[in-house]
C-alpha cells in the first residue's frame, strides 16, 4: 500500500482513497452507482436530498455521495454514522486486512483521515457527523427524514437486520435504501450453507455451492428482511413505497467512477514471465514478481525503475518492455516468508527456494514446516507448493477450475439423483394413477346406471298415473254422455206429458164452455 500517496494527499490537502490504512474499502466500481441512485431519488422525492450513510470509514464513499449531489446539481446533505472503533474479532477474522483495519481504528487514524478527506473534498457545509454505532445513533434520528439510506457498516447479520429495519422508519416515501457487499443473494446459495456461515460469524467467506466469496451476514439479512433486491456488482438498492420495498431501476448512463477514486484505482491487467501488469491513473506498469505485493502500490508513481518497474502508455508497450527485461532479475531467496503477490484468493509466498500458494481464507500457515508435513496437514487445494510464481499461479488456476468443476459435478449429481429417484417412482405413480382412474370409472358407471334406473322408474310411474287419469277422464265422459242422454229422454217425456196435459186442458175447456 502506498504511504507515499497518503502523505502527498495529506500535505496537498487532497482526498486520499488508496490502500494505506485500508482507506479504499471494497471494489471501488460499486461507487459508480451512487450518481444513478441520487438521480432516481431526486426524480421521485422533493428536494433536498438527505443522505444517511451507515459506516463511513475514511470518508471515501461519503465523498462519492457529495460528488453525486454536486454533479446532479442537487441541494442536500450527508449524515455519517460510524463509531470509528476497532470492530473485527481477530479470532474469527484473522486476515491481514482485518488486523490492519483494527489497528487504523485503534489509533483514531481512520477518523482523522475521514476528517481530512471530507474537508479536502469540501463537504464540511453539508456534512453531519454522528460518532457511534448505528444502534446508538439511529433510534434518535427523526422518522421519514432521509431520501437515501446507504448501509455499509457492520456486516454481522443482526446488525444488518437492525440497520434495514431502522432505514425503513427513517426513509421518506419513494426514497431509496441501498447498501454495499451483496455479492450473492440468498436464493443463489444453499440455505443450510448460508445458515452455517451466518452462525460461524466470519465476515467474508467462500461459498462452496456458489463458488464465490460473499458476506453471509449481508446476504442473509437482506434476503430475510427485504427479499430479492436490484444489485449491480455487489451494490444493492430498493425503493420504499408505502409499507413496501420494491426493486428499483437505475439510469446506468449516469454511472461513473467518482474523480477522487480515479487516481487510486489500480487494476491488475495480466501477467507475463516474471512480471505483473497493472493499470493506474492512465498509465500501464509492469512490476517484477520479486516485489512484495504490499510494496507494489508505492512503485506506481509514473517513474520507471528498470528492470523492476516499467511504465508504458499502452498495455502492449509495457508488456513488450517486460518481455525484453525477462531474465534480468535474479530473485532473492528469502529466509522469512514473504508475500510476493495475490492470485484468485490465494497469497503467493516465497520462502527460501520454494514458492507457496496459500488460500487466504485458511488463515496463517507455518510454511517453515517440511513440504511433506505441510502436504499432510493441509488440503492440496489450500496450500500449493512449487518453485516459481508463474507455476504456482497456473496451479492455482487449475485448482480453482477443478473446484468449480467439482461443484458443478456435485450439482449435476444432485440433479441426476433427483431425476433417477423421480424416474424410479414413475411406474408406481403410473399404477396408482391407473388404479385410481379405473376405480373412478367404475364408480362413475355405477352412478350412471343408478341414475338411469331411477329415471326409468320415474317414467313408468308417470305413465301409470297418466293412464289412470286417462281412464278416469274416459269414464267421466261416458257418464256425462249417459247423463245427457237420460236428460234428453226425460225432456222428451216431459214434452210428451206437456202435450198430453195441454190436450187435456183444451178438452176440459171445451167441455166446460
Q: How far apart are CA 421 and CA 405, in angstroms?
A: 24
Q: Does 179 bind ligand SAM (CB under 6 A)?
A: no
Taking the C-alpha atoms of 468, 471, 473 and 479 in order, what is their torsion angle to the nearest 10 degrees?
Answer: -140
**In the window 199-228, what residues touch ligand SAM (CB under 6 A)?**
none
Which of residues 79 and 290 has its CB atom nearest to ligand SAM in the complex? 79
8 Å CB contact between 50 and 13: no
Backbone angles phi, psi at 288, to 5 degrees: -60, 140
Please report how close the Cβ of residue 69 comes to ligand SAM at its closest, in angstroms.
16
Residue of 67, 118, 133, 147 that binds ligand SAM (CB under 6 A) = 133
Q: How far apart are CA 127 and CA 114, in angstroms?
A: 12
Euclidean distance between the first and the last CA atom of the chain, given in angstroms as a whole number: 171
Cell of 179: 447498501
Residue of 39, 65, 82, 177 that binds ligand SAM (CB under 6 A) = 82
Please report how close the Cβ of residue 429 comes to ligand SAM at its closest, in angstroms.
53
Please report how close the Cβ of residue 131 comes to ligand SAM at its closest, in angstroms.
10
CA-closest candidate to residue 262, choices 31, 3, 12, 451: 31
8 Å CB contact between 196 and 208: no
The DSSP secondary-structure symbol of 125 reads G
In the chain, how long is the greatest CA-to-CA distance?
A: 186
Scanning 77-85, 207-215, 252-260, 320-328 for contacts with ligand SAM by CB under 6 A, the matching segment is 77-85
Please report how close the Cβ of residue 149 comes to ligand SAM at its closest, in angstroms.
12
The residue nearest ligand SAM at its CB is: 55
Burial class (CB in 10 A: 0-12, 13-18, 19+), 482: exposed
Three state DSSP letters for 186-206 = HHHCCHHHHHHHHHHCCCCEE
Q: How far apart are CA 465 and CA 475, in angstroms?
A: 15
Q: Write the DSSP string, 244-258.
A: EEEE----GGG----
Residue of 77, 159, 183, 289 that binds ligand SAM (CB under 6 A) = 159
Q: Does 234 bind ligand SAM (CB under 6 A)?
A: no
Cell of 513: 164452455
Q: Does 153 bind ligand SAM (CB under 6 A)?
A: yes
8 Å CB contact between 261 and 18: no
Which of residues 152 and 289 has its CB atom nearest to ligand SAM in the complex? 152
Please report how close the Cβ of residue 104 comes to ligand SAM at its closest, in angstroms.
9
Please report how close the Cβ of residue 90 comes to ligand SAM at its closest, in angstroms.
15
Which of residues 40 and 218 has its CB atom nearest to ligand SAM in the complex? 218
Please report how close the Cβ of residue 428 comes to ligand SAM at its closest, in angstroms.
55
The DSSP secondary-structure symbol of 48 reads P
Please report how close the Cβ of residue 37 comes to ligand SAM at its closest, in angstroms.
14
Please report how close the Cβ of residue 100 comes to ligand SAM at its closest, in angstroms.
13
Which of residues 60 and 355 has its CB atom nearest to ligand SAM in the complex? 60
**In the window 6-65, what residues touch ligand SAM (CB under 6 A)?**
25, 54-58, 60-61
Residue of 154, 166, 271, 293 that binds ligand SAM (CB under 6 A) = 154
Q: Give the dihedral sign, CA 217/220/225/230.
A: positive
**In the window 295-334, what residues touch ligand SAM (CB under 6 A)?**
none
Residue of 33, 34, 65, 87 that binds ligand SAM (CB under 6 A) = 87
Please report how close the Cβ of residue 58 comes to ligand SAM at its closest, in angstroms.
6
Q: Does 134 bind ligand SAM (CB under 6 A)?
A: yes
Q: What angle do CA 7, 13, 18 make, to 5 degrees?
A: 50
Q: How far apart are CA 346 and CA 364, in angstroms?
A: 12
Q: Does 166 bind ligand SAM (CB under 6 A)?
A: no
Which of residues 163 and 289 has its CB atom nearest to ligand SAM in the complex? 163
Residue of 37, 41, 68, 81 that binds ligand SAM (CB under 6 A) = 81
Which of residues 161 and 375 has its CB atom nearest to ligand SAM in the complex? 161
8 Å CB contact between 222 and 160: yes
Note the residue count of the chain. 513
Q: Does 83 bind ligand SAM (CB under 6 A)?
A: yes
Query: How many residues bind to ligand SAM according to rule CB under 6 A?
Result: 19
8 Å CB contact between 78 and 66: yes
Burial class (CB in 10 A: 0-12, 13-18, 19+), 152: buried
Backbone angles phi, psi at 370, to 5 degrees: -60, 145
Which of residues 19 and 392 has its CB atom nearest to ligand SAM in the complex? 19
Please report how close the Cβ of residue 54 comes to ligand SAM at its closest, in angstroms.
5
Which of residues 155 and 343 has its CB atom nearest to ligand SAM in the complex? 155
For ligand SAM, the binding residues (CB under 6 A) are: 25, 54-58, 60-61, 81-84, 87, 133-134, 152-154, 159
Amino acid at each position: 500500500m502506498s504511504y507515499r500517496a497518503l502523505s502527498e494527499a495529506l500535505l496537498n490537502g487532497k482526498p486520499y482513497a488508496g490502500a494505506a490504512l485500508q482507506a479504499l474499502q471494497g471494489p471501488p466500481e460499486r461507487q459508480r452507482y451512487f450518481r444513478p441512485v441520487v438521480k432516481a431519488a431526486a426524480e421521485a422525492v422533493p428536494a433536498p436530498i438527505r443522505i444517511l450513510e451507515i459506516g463511513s470509514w475514511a470518508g471515501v464513499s461519503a465523498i462519492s455521495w457529495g460528488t453525486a449531489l454536486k454533479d446532479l446539481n442537487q441541494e442536500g446533505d450527508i449524515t455519517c454514522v460510524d463509531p470509528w472503533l476497532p470492530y473485527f474479532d481477530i479470532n474469527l477474522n484473522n486476515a491481514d486486512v482485518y488486523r490492519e483495519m483494527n489497528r487504523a481504528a485503534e489509533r483514531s487514524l481512520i477518523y482523522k483521515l475521514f476528517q481530512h478527506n471530507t474537508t479536502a473534498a469540501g463537504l464540511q457545509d453539508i456534512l453531519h457527523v454522528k460518532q457511534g454505532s448505528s444502534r446508538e445513533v439511529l433510534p434518535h434520528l427523526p422518522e421519514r427524514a432521509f431520501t437515501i439510506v446507504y448501509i455499509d457498516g457492520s456486516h454481522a447479520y443482526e446488525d444488518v437486520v437492525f440497520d434495514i429495519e431502522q432505514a425503513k422508519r427513517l426513509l421518506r416515501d419513494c426514497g431509496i435504501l441501498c447498501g454495499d457487499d451483496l455479492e450473492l443473494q440468498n436464493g443463489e446459495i444453499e440455505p443450510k450453507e448460508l445458515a452455517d456461515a451466518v452462525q460461524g460469524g466470519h465476515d467474508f467467506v467462500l461459498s462452496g455451492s456458489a463458488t464465490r466469496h460473499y458476506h453471509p451476514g449481508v446476504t442473509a439479512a437482506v434476503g430475510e428482511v427485504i427479499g430479492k433486491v436490484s444489485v449491480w456488482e455487489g451494490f444493492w438498492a430498493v425503493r420504499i413505497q408505502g409499507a413496501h420495498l420494491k426493486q428499483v431501476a437505475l439510469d446506468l448512463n449516469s454511472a461513473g467512477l467518482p474523480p477522487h477514486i480515479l487516481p487510486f484505482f489500480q487494476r491488475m491487467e495480466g501477467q507475463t514471465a516474471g512480471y505483473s501488469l497493472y493499470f493506474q491513473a492512465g498509465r500501464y506498469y509492469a512490476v517484477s514478481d520479486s516485489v512484495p505485493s504490499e510494496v507494489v502500490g508505492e512503485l506506481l508513481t509514473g517513474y520507471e525503475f528498470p528492470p523492476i518497474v516499467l511504465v508504458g502508455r499502452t498495455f502492449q508497450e509495457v508488456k513488450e518492455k517486460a518481455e525484453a527485461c525477462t531474465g534480468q532479475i535474479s530473485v532473492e531467496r528469502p529466509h522469512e516468508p514473504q508475500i510476493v503477490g495475490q492470485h484468485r484468493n490465494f497469497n503467493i509466498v516465497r520462502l527460501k527456494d520454494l514458492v507457496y500458494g496459500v488460500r487466504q481464507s485458511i488463515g496463517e500457515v507455518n510454511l517453515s514446516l517440511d513440504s511433506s508435513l505441510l502436504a499432510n496437514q493441509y488440503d492440496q487445494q489450500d496450500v500449493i507448493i512449487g518453485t516459481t510464481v508463474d507455476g504456482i499461479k497456473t496451479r492455482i488456476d487449475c485448482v480453482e477450475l477443478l473446484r468449480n468443476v467439482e461443484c458443478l459435478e456435485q450439482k449435476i449429481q444432485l440433479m441426476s439423483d433427483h431425476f433417477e429417484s423421480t424416474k424410479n417412482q414413475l411406474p408406481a405413480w403410473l399404477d396408482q394413477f391407473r388404479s385410481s382412474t379405473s376405480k373412478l370409472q367404475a364408480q362413475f358407471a355405477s352412478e350412471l346406471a343408478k341414475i338411469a334406473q331411477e329415471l326409468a322408474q320415474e317414467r313408468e310411474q308417470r305413465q301409470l298415473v297418466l293412464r289412470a287419469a286417462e281412464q278416469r277422464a274416459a269414464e267421466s265422459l261416458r257418464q256425462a254422455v249417459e247423463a245427457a242422454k237420460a236428460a234428453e229422454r226425460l225432456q222428451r217425456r216431459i214434452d210428451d206429458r206437456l202435450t198430453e196435459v195441454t190436450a187435456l186442458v183444451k178438452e176440459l175447456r171445451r167441455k166446460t164452455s
